[in-house]
């Protein structure tokens, strides 16, 4: 595999003057060396590509990655054929990073294929681990999603054409990846060994994880236990946040555009801005609250949290001061979109996984 | 929940005879008041519907919203939260916290398409056995009228064991099947019937 690595190696080893015989001798040796490297696959599934950019953002370390691994598949960055993966022995790929969610039967098929061929399967980023923004599609039924995509006023589709998954053309039956009724996370489809959270994961964290993996493969470092969350902390964003917390009582929730200036020193939640820090895993460095924007929860649930939204509901309810039902309702009116606030990144991975609209299509025409 | 066709909702509410539907309600009780109220109802031979499964917590403030969502995800039709009357909490003010969680959780489940009546809050002191029994009866009838929730989330892990297309059709699918070929399209390019 990896014709790129092989040819560049051959180019280095064989200047123009070298006889053909020497070139031929260098060829198998280079191939054997390439084969000795652990194989790495990076697969996008349903994702925006931001995770791939975050990986490339480790800058010159990407050369170290290429030196340490034989990259067999990374559709965003390089050519690689699914057929080559299919031809591999089971477990031949050492580590596979899947950075997207399971949206179509094609992504599900490829996730299964890569699982079979890989020793370690990593849910890389928020989409793979908890659904992320694409997971908000689980608030609607498949029909609603397709209608919105193909027949809203901004779409020029006078014939009301809809995608079909199988199509009889004169040349034969054409297949499109089928859009599944619900978006799923990677671990709802295949067994996952490790999770790297974040939307996208911070590049320095990615490098730290890859470094640790290389060490573990060399036998100079420990292998994390199965199921571990890598490249992140074990506490919450609040623990990393430099803002001061003291009153822990609020009498209103506001939206960020309703307030001209927030106090730069004090906890945003205490200032009434719904901040997801109390439920969100640390590891990002609390970048958003540091610049005055609330945490939106992209690093997923903190350690020990079963349902991200439930934890956040609990946290918010604890800081509201009101005690009478009508006063409580007045404060809670400030959270205009509870499902979006509490499950922006984690709906598909939550206990309920979707809204009722996604699966109950009674009476839908 | 049955193993077949996880995506297929229960039969439409009109078709199943309402009398045969026995809702499953998970009831969370507070050790100091509503659990004792339920106990009192039992000692006094006050009847209440067996649909409610009571779980004792030390306080309604112990109620993590996770418990409620897990109940729905694993087949409960409704959740009943009970606690001490405002101002009477054994732990001073934790029932106010329970009230705020309840109100916020109710808004959230509503946004996820679950009827707010599937989450109810009832205050009952240790002396109010009859009142608690009556409230349980009222909640049971309200939930019975709503019909089964049948949340499929717990089964979604095994989605692939099922025929997606059949499940999709069972949910109503795309009414009328795939759209007809638009005018001017090659009639030979008809979509394969599914």
Per-residue pLDDT of B131-168, as tens digits, reads 999 999 999 999 999 999 988 865 443 444 445 555 55
- pLDDT, position B191: 42
A130 and A253 in a common domain: no
Lowest mean pLDDT across A8-17, A89-98, A163-172, B157-166: A8-17
Judge contact between B175 and B166, C-beta under 8 A: no
The CA distance from B27 to B23, in Å, is 12
Instruction: Determine the structural domain holding residue A62 and report its residue range.
Output: 37-134+179-218
- When pLDDT is averaged across residues A103-122 and rounded to a whole number, the result is 95
- Say how far apart CA A111 and CA A82 lie, in whole Å: 11
Query: Is the domain of A187 the same as that of A112?
Result: yes
Domain membership flag for residue A280 = yes
The answer to whether residues A68 and A184 belong to one domain is yes
Residue A325 token pair = 């039902």
B21-146: CATH architecture: 3-Layer(aba) Sandwich (3.40)
The Cα–Cα gap between B56 and B68 comes to 14
Q: Which of A164, A307, A320 sits opposite B66 (nearest CB)?
A: A307
Distances (CA, A) of A292 to A221, A239, A335: 39, 16, 18
CA–CA min distance A293, chain B (Å): 23
- Shortest Cα distance from B42 to chain A (angstroms)? 31
Buried b (16+ CB within 10 A) or exposed e, A260-280: eebeeeebbbbbbbbbbbbbb
User: CB A313 to CB B174 under 8 A?
Assistant: no
pLDDT digits (tens, 9 = 90+) for A15-30: 344 444 444 444 444 4
- Gap between the Cα atoms of A279 and A315, Å rounded: 8
Q: Residue B66 and residue A351: Cα distance in Å, rounded?
A: 8
Is pLDDT at A33 greater than 90 in this prediction?
Answer: no
Summarize pLDDT for A346-362 with one digit per residue, the tens. 999 999 999 998 888 76
Q: Which residues 6+ apart lie within 8 Å of A103 measured at CB?
A: A45, A46, A134, A137, A179, A180, A183
A197 and A337 share one domain: no
Q: What number is the ipTM of this complex?
A: 0.86
A225 found inside a domain: no
**Nearest residue in chain A measured CA to CA from B75:** A352
Instruction: Based on the fold, state whether residues A272 and A203 are members of the same structural domain.
Output: no
Q: Are residues A309 and A352 in the same domain?
A: yes
The CA distance from A196 to the nearest CA of chain B, in Å, is 21
Q: Do A291 and A330 share a structural domain?
A: yes
How many structural domains compose chain A? Answer: 2
Residue A133 CA to residue A148 CA, distance in Å, equals: 17
CA dist A26 and A18 (Å) reads 11
Inspect the interface and report whether the beta carbons of A143 and B99 lie closer than 8 Å: no
Does residue A259 sit within a domain? yes
Residues A355, A282: one domain?
Answer: yes
- Pick B189's closest partner by Cβ from A165, A168, A180: A168
B122 DSSP 8-state letter: E
Q: What is the pLDDT of residue B166?
A: 55
Q: Which of A188, A218, A248 is the last residue of a domain?
A: A218
- Residue A233 CA to residue A285 CA, distance in Å, equals 10
Determine the distance in angstroms separating the CA of A305 from the nearest CA of chain B, rounded to an integer. 9
Which is it for strands A39-43 and A166-169: parallel, antiparallel or unpaired?
Answer: unpaired
Q: What is the mean pLDDT of residues A65-89?
A: 93
Task: Give per-residue burial for A65-81: e unless 16+ CB within 10 Å, then b.
Answer: bbebbbbbbbbeeeebe
Examine the domain organization and report whether A113 and A199 are in the same domain.
yes
CA dihedral defined by B48, B51, B52, B53, rounded to 10 degrees?
Answer: 120
> What residues have CB less than 8 Å from A317, skipping those under 6 apart?
B97, B100, B101, B103, B104
**Would A112 be classed as within a structural domain?**
yes
What are the residue boundaries of the structural domains of chain B, listed by start?
A: 21-146, 157-189
Q: Which residue of chain A has the CA closest to B149?
A: A356
> Are A44 and A191 members of one domain?
yes
- Beta carbons of A277 and A316 less than 8 angstroms apart: no
Sign of CA dihedral B111, B117, B118, B119: positive
Q: Do residue A188 and residue A304 come from a single domain? A: no
Q: Report if residue A345 sits inside a domain.
A: yes
Cβ of A318 within 8 Å of Cβ of B97? The answer is yes
pLDDT of residue B188: 43
First to last CA, chain A: 50
Interface touch A159/B73, C-beta < 8 Å: no
DSSP string, A16-75: TTS-HHHHHHHHHHHHHHHHHSPEEEEE-SB--SHHHHHHHTTTTHHHHHHHH-EEEE-T
| pLDDT tens digits for range A224-281 | 999 999 999 999 999 999 999 987 789 999 999 999 899 999 999 999 999 999 999 9
Work out the angle between the directed axes of helices A20-36 and A3-13 (0-180°, nearest 10).
Answer: 140
Say whether both A48 and A84 belong to one domain.
yes
- Best mutation target among B108, B155, B169 (most A Cβ atoms within 10 Å) is B108
Does the pLDDT value for residue A152 go beyond 90?
no
Q: Which two tokens stand for residue B149?
A: 């929730």
Find, among B5, B56, B49, the residue nearest to B28 by Cα: B56
A4 within a domain of the structure (yes/no)? no
CATH at residue A212: 3.40.50.700
Q: Which pLDDT does position A214 carry in this prediction?
A: 87
What would the pLDDT profile of A285-317 be if each residue is shown by its tens digit? Answer: 999 999 999 999 999 999 999 999 999 999 999
Q: A196 forms bridges with which residues in the sheet?
A: A124
Contacts of B172 in chain A (CB under 8 A): 361-364
Per-residue pLDDT in tens (0 to 9) along chain B, 194 residues: 333 334 434 444 444 444 589 999 999 999 999 999 999 999 999 999 999 999 999 999 999 999 999 999 989 999 999 999 999 999 999 999 999 999 999 999 999 999 999 999 999 999 999 999 999 999 999 999 999 998 886 544 344 444 555 555 555 544 444 434 344 444 444 444 33
- pLDDT (0 to 100) of residue B165: 53
Cα–Cα distance measured from residue B79 to residue B121, given in angstroms and rounded to the nearest whole number: 9
- CB-CB: which of B64, B151, B167 is closest to A314? B64
Is residue A8 over pLDDT 70? no
**Other CB atoms within 10 Å distance of the CB of residue A3:** 10
* Contact residues, chain A, for B100 at CB < 8 Å: 317-318, 320, 322, 328, 332
Partners of residue B78 on adjacent β-strands: B25
List CB contacts (< 8 A) between B151 and chain A.
Answer: 352, 356
What is the token pair recorded at A265?
Answer: 């020193």
Which of A185, A177, A205, A351 is closest to A283 using CA atoms?
A: A205
Asked whether the beta carbons of residue B178 and residue A318 sit closer than 8 angstroms, the reply is no
The pLDDT of A166-186, averaged and rounded, is 92
Write down the pLDDT at residue B128.
96
Q: Do A362 and B12 touch (CB under 8 A)?
A: yes
Considering only CB atoms, A188 lies closest to which of B103, B107, B156, namely B156
Rounded distance between C-alpha atoms, residue B44 and residue B126, angstroms: 13
**Count of CB pairs separated by less than 8 Å, A with B:** 157
Q: Which chain A residues have a beta carbon less than 8 Å from that of B71?
A: none
**Assigned domain for A163 exists:** no
Cβ–Cβ of A182/B156 closer than 8 Å?
A: yes
pLDDT at B79: 98
Question: How far away is chain A from the Cα of B47, in angstroms, using its nearest Cα?
Answer: 30
- Indicate yes or no: CB of B104 within 8 angstroms of CB of A306: no
Would you say residue A252 lies in a domain? Answer: yes
Half-sphere exposure of A335 toward its Cβ, with a 13 Å CA cutoff? 28
pTM: 0.82
């Amino acid at each position: 595999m990896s014709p790129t690595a092989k040819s560049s190696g051959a180019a280095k080893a064989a200047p123009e003057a070298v006889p053909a015989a020497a070139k031929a001798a260098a060829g198998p040796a280079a191939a054997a060396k390439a084969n000795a490297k652990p194989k790495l696959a990076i697969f996008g599934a349903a994702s925006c590509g931001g995770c791939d950019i975050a990986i490339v953002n480790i800058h010159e370390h990407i050369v170290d990655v290429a030196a340490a691994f034989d990259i067999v598949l990374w559709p965003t960055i390089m050519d690689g054929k699914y057929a080559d993966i299919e031809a591999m022995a089971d477990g031949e790929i050492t580590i596979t990073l899947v950075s997207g969610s399971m949206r179509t039967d094609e992504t599900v098929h490829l996730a299964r294929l890569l699982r079979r061929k890989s020793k370690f399967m990593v849910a890389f980023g928020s989409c793979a681990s908890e659904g992320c923004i694409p997971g908000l599609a689980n608030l609607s039924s498949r029909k609603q999603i397709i209608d919105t995509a193909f027949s809203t006023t901004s779409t020029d589709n006078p014939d009301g054409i809809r995608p079909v998954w199988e199509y009889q053309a004169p040349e034969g039956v054409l297949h499109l990846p089928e859009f599944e009724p619900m978006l799923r996370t990677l671990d709802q489809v295949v067994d996952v060994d490790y999770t790297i959270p974040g939307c996208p994961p911070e590049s320095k964290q990615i490098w730290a994880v890859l470094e640790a993996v290389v060490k573990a493969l060399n036998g100079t470092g420990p292998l994390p236990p199965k199921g571990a969350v890598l490249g992140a902390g074990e506490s919450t964003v609040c623990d990393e946040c430099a803002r001061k917390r003291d009153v822990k009582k609020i009498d209103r929730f506001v939206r960020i555009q309703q307030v001209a200036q927030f106090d730069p020193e004090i906890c945003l939640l205490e200032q009434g801005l719904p901040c997801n820090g109390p439920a969100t895993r640390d590891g990002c460095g609390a970048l958003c609250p540091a610049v005055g924007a609330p945490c939106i929860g992209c690093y997923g649930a903190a350690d020990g949290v079963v349902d991200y939204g439930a934890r956040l509901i609990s946290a918010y309810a604890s800081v509201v001061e009101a005690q009478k039902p009508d006063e409580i309702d007045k404060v809670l009116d400030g959270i205009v979109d509870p499902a979006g606030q509490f499950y922006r990144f984690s709906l598909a991975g939550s206990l309920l996984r979707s809204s009722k609209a996604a699966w109950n299509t009674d009476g839908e025409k | 929940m049955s193993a077949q066709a996880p995506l297929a909702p229960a039969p439409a509410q009109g078709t199943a005879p309402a009398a045969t539907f026995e809702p499953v309600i998970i009831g969370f009780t507070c050790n100091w008041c509503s659990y004792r109220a339920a106990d009192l109802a039992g000692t006094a031979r006050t009847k209440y519907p067996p649909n409610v499964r009571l779980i004792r917590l030390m306080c309604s403030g112990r109620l993590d919203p996770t418990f409620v969502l897990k109940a729905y995800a694993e087949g409960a039709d409704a959740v009943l939260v009970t606690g001490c009357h405002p101002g009477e909490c054994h732990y001073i003010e934790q029932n106010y916290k329970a009230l705020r969680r309840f109100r916020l959780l109710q808004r959230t489940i509503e946004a996820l398409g679950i009827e707010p009546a599937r989450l109810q809050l009832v205050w009952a002191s240790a002396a109010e056995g009859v009142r608690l029994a009556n409230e349980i009866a009222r909640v049971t009838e309200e939930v019975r009228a709503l019909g089964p929730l049948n949340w499929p989330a717990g089964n979604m892990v095994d989605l692939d064991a099922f025929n997606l297309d059949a499940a999709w059709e069972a949910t109503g699918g795309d009414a009328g099947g795939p759209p007809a070929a638009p005018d001017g399209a090659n009639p030979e390019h008809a979509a394969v019937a599914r």
